[in-house]
Amino acid sequence: MSVNTLSTTYFESILVYQFACCQTHPDLPDLQGWYLIVKPGDMGTLMELHEGVARRFFCMFALDPHLPQEKCPGFYSPVVLAAGWLVTIEKYLLEGVIVAVNSRGGMLPLAEVKVLSTIESEEMRWPNIIEDERITISRWPEGRHFYLSSNRSRIFVPSKYNEYAAAFRAAKKYTNNIVSKDL
């Protein structure tokens, strides 16, 4: 399947996310996975994705995203890492390159992979199922939102929920291995 068959109009891209199952190396047919397709000009998808990447970095370092930047430890700042991710993907998109993003935030130009199949979804939810994945639902002390995090570094969009039941339903879409923490 060629890259050209993935094009949609601007209005369609607002309503539907496009995922492609890609073979990422020509000599390794088993090296494949699902990628979200981000096209130049698709700012809505990019901003939603960036929010998920930023929250993943906060979860990775067990930091509360409500803390001011100066309270974050100096060795790695989730804000700086997420900003670096955004600058990288924007560089591709500004050059007119269609980008494929995996469920952990890794990205590459779509033209560099072999597209095996595509699907469309109204949710930004990668179709890959990871057998040993464990999703944790947590809430910061005295916080009012529930957050999802994965032991496999999956990006969740949205990553926070107002009610525990909504967070649990979202987690169930990926796995039955769900842990509730600090509730």
pLDDT tens-digit readout, 84-140:
899 999 999 999 999 999 988 889 999 999 999 999 988 888 886 666 788 889 887
Is this prediction's pTM over 0.75? no
pLDDT number for residue 5? 43
Residue 6 confidence (pLDDT) above 80? no
pLDDT above 70 covers a percentage of the chain that reads 80
Split at pLDDT 50, 70, 90, the class of 27 is confident
Spans of all domains in the chain: 6-128, 131-183
Residue 42 burial (10 A CB sphere; 0-12, 13-18, 19+): buried
